[in-house]
């Protein structure tokens, strides 16, 4: 209870504030009555000391010492029956009390100090009881919102109405989680590097300068994370406004539970995503249809192409020997996830063991998309180094023509990451360089590859399956044997004339001369594509 409010109680009728009027906004937690000369060791923060002044009557310096010590201890004020023993309050004491803003109250002689103590404590207790009742009522109100599944947006709107102020909820990185309608402050840009919350403070206030001039009161929202989230009230709340403070604190408690519930659901979803991707790259699904259907659940669209990046912390083994392994890993995942959601590109994030996998949809010019992806990964590297002093490296695949090819893209990204690591580099972004013809062919659109294959061998399609397979096998072995008839006959265990007959048949049906290098090159590419299509 504020001292100025306490003095309105009937027991203080006739009491006069003779000094320290600027300190009447001090909080009173208790009232003590003492007349012993050793009062100072028993002073308490928030205490109002009432005395007859008997031990001070012949010792003015002791009164000055008492006022000074009361200021140091954070006492609420001093009540003295001035006319009982002192008669006149020394001018030095009045001046000192005014300087230190320690209120001195002149208590009438006829008022019993015991009554002051009793009625003051009763008043404080009544106020605390009312506050507790209001806190319980407010807590129940917000709890009911949660139980009824209203969510954070309704809680914040309800709090905003109760305290008549807009409200914004930020995460531990000062990124906005939710806000009441019409409020869109970029607190991250405004406060990063300049905002700090005192660990033992219940709440704090600050003002922005310049164009964004405004005062905010900030309450911590403690969850399972190391750092709290923050509830920003768009106005100044004085500590003396106990009703508003308690209302916001109760809302913060309920919001903390809701955030932890949402985090548990998010972790479950994340675990399902990671399990899907692990099974996907390990070939656990039985059909392409199953892969595409499951992929849709996690944002992978069948007709889109994707780049795959695999990231891993540099010096991982040294970085995660601490017991905080899991929480730090989650923190890194959260930072990357936040960047993914903030990106203008469509991306999906997965995690496998100690690696972070990011898939980006490619549309239009894939070279431009690759450049944008590289820029995005550089931003992640900068963020991790700035906030956690950790470095991360990435390997990037060639684009996958469709989700079904993502396991190959993942392997390419892993190979690129491994290659950069073997060179001893850190905080690098290494793009995969294709080394074999099939890897280059995989970069072609799937439908175009299929069309090329069908056009190349369409002349053989009219043949019975047995003859088709035989002719195709002979042609394949002939090309693999560098167009040597004897070597082809040897590998097929047939007579040389049989090989000649089959090859002439192939030339007739395909309309291609096997003596033309350009035609044989087309056939070789066709067989390479045939192997890729068969594997898919």
The predicted structure's pLDDT at residue 211? 62
**Packing angle between helix 517-535 and helix 465-480, nearest 10 degrees?**
120
pLDDT digits (tens, 9 = 90+) for 396-420: 998 887 788 889 899 989 989 988 8
Looking at the structure, tell me whether residues 165 and 33 fall in a common domain.
no
Looking at the structure, tell me whether residues 401 and 456 fall in a common domain.
no
Looking at the structure, tell me whether residues 322 and 220 fall in a common domain.
no
Burial code of 14-26, b = ≥16 C-beta within 10 A, e = fewer?
ebebbbbeebbeb
Find the mean pLDDT for residues 193-199. 61
Looking at the structure, tell me whether residues 94 and 200 fall in a common domain.
no
Give bridge partners of residue 360 from the DSSP assignment: 307, 347
Does residue 280 fall inside a structural domain? Answer: no
Does residue 136 fall inside a structural domain? Answer: no
Residue 191 and residue 279 in contact, taking contact as beta carbons nearer than 8 Å = no
Strand order in the sheet with 16-19: 16-19, 104-106, 77-80, 47-51, 30-33
pLDDT surpasses 90 at 267:
no
CA atoms within 13 A on the CB side of 181: 4
Q: What is the DSSP-derived secondary structure letter of residue 83? A: I
The predicted structure's pLDDT at residue 316? 62
pLDDT surpasses 50 at 376:
yes
- Read off the pLDDT band of 127 (50, 70, 90): confident
The predicted structure's pLDDT at residue 58? 76
Does residue 491 fall inside a structural domain? Answer: yes
The predicted structure's pLDDT at residue 440? 67
- Read off the pLDDT band of 318 (50, 70, 90): very low
Looking at the structure, tell me whether residues 421 and 292 fall in a common domain.
yes
Looking at the structure, tell me whether residues 182 and 245 fall in a common domain.
yes
Q: Domain containing 185: what range? A: 149-260
pLDDT surpasses 90 at 82:
no
Looking at the structure, tell me whether residues 404 and 377 fall in a common domain.
yes
Does residue 97 fall inside a structural domain? Answer: yes
pLDDT > 70 fraction of the chain, expressed in percent and rounded: 91
Looking at the structure, tell me whether residues 53 and 105 fall in a common domain.
yes
Looking at the structure, tell me whether residues 109 and 198 fall in a common domain.
no
Name the domain count of the chain.
Answer: 4
Looking at the structure, tell me whether residues 233 and 325 fall in a common domain.
no
Find the mean pLDDT for residues 11-40. 88
241: domain CATH number is 3.30.450.40
Residue of higher predicted confidence among 4 and 149: 4
Residue of higher predicted confidence among 16 and 227: 16
- Read off the pLDDT band of 458 (50, 70, 90): confident
Averaged confidence pLDDT in the chain = 84
The predicted structure's pLDDT at residue 370? 84
The predicted structure's pLDDT at residue 142? 83
pLDDT digits (tens, 9 = 90+) for 523-535: 888 888 887 776 6
The predicted structure's pLDDT at residue 200? 63
Does residue 339 fall inside a structural domain? Answer: yes
Whole-number Cα distances in Å, 447 to 46, 402, 430, 457, 474: 80, 11, 29, 16, 27
Looking at the structure, tell me whether residues 451 and 521 fall in a common domain.
yes
Find the mean pLDDT for residues 498-522. 89
Domain boundary among 68, 102, 121: 121
The predicted structure's pLDDT at residue 322? 47
pTM for the whole structure:
0.59
CA atoms within 13 A on the CB side of 507: 13
Looking at the structure, tell me whether residues 231 and 296 fall in a common domain.
no
Does residue 265 fall inside a structural domain? Answer: no
Find the mean pLDDT for residues 428-439. 76
The predicted structure's pLDDT at residue 285? 85
């Amino acid at each position: 209870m504020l001292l100025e409010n306490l003095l309105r109680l009937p027991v203080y009728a006739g009491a006069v504030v003779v000094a320290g009027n600027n300190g009447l906004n001090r909080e009173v937690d208790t009232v003590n009555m003492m007349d012993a000369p050793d009062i100072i060791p028993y002073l308490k923060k928030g205490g109002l000391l009432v005395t007859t002044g008997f031990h001070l009557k012949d010792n003015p310096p002791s009164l000055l010492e008492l006022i000074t010590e009361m200021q140091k201890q954070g006492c609420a004020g001093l009540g003295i029956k001035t006319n009982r023993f002192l008669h006149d309050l020394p001018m030095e004491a009045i001046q000192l009390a005014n300087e230190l803003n320690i209120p001195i109250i002149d208590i009438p002689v006829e008022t019993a100090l015991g009554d002051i103590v009793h009625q003051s404590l009763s008043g404080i207790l009544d106020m605390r009881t009312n506050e507790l009742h209001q806190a319980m009522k407010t807590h129940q109100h917000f709890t009911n919102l949660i139980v009824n599944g209203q969510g954070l947006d309704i809680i914040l709107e309800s709090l905003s109405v109760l305290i008549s102020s807009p409200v914004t909820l930020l995460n531990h990185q000062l990124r906005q989680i939710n806000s009441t309608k019409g409020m869109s402050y970029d607190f991250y840009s405004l406060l990063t590097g300049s905002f700090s919350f005192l660990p033992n403070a219940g709440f704090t206030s600050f003002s922005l300068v310049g164009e964004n001039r405004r005062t905010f009161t900030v309450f911590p929202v403690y969850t399972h994370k190391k750092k709290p989230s923050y509830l920003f009230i768009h106005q100044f709340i004085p500590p003396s406004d106990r009703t508003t403070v308690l209302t916001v604190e109760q809302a913060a408690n309920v919001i903390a539970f809701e955030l932890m519930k949402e985090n548990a659901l998010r972790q479950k979803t994340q675990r399902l995503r990671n399990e899907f991707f692990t099974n996907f790259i390990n070939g656990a699904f039985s059909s392409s249809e199953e892969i595409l259907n499951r992929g849709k659940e996690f944002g992978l669209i069948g007709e889109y192409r994707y780049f795959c990046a695999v990231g891993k912390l540099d010096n991982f083994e040294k970085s995660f020997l601490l017991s905080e392994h899991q929480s730090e890993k989650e923190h890194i995942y959260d930072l990357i996830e936040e960047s993914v959601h903030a990106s203008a590109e469509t991306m999906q994030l997965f995690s496998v063991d100690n690696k972070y996998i990011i898939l980006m949809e490619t549309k239009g010019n894939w070279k431009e998309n690759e450049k944008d992806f590289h820029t995005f990964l550089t931003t992640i590297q900068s963020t991790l180094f700035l906030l956690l002093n950790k470095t991360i490296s990435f390997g990037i695949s060639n684009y996958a023509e469709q989700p079904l090819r993502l396991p190959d893209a993942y392997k390419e990204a892993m190979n690129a990451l491994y290659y950069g690591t073997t060179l001893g580099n850190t905080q690098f972004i290494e793009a995969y360089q294709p080394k074999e013809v099939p890897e280059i062919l995989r970069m072609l659109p799937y439908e175009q590859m299929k069309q090329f294959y069908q056009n190349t061998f369409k002349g053989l399609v009219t043949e019975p399956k047995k003859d088709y397979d035989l002719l195709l096998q002979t042609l394949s072995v002939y090309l693999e044997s560098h167009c040597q008839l004897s070597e082809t006959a040897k590998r097929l265990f047939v007579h040389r004339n049989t090989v000649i007959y089959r090859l002439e048949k192939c030339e007739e049906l395909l309309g291609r001369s096997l003596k033309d290098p350009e035609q044989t090159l087309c056939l070789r590419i066709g067989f390479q594509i045939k192997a890729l299509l068969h594997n898919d």
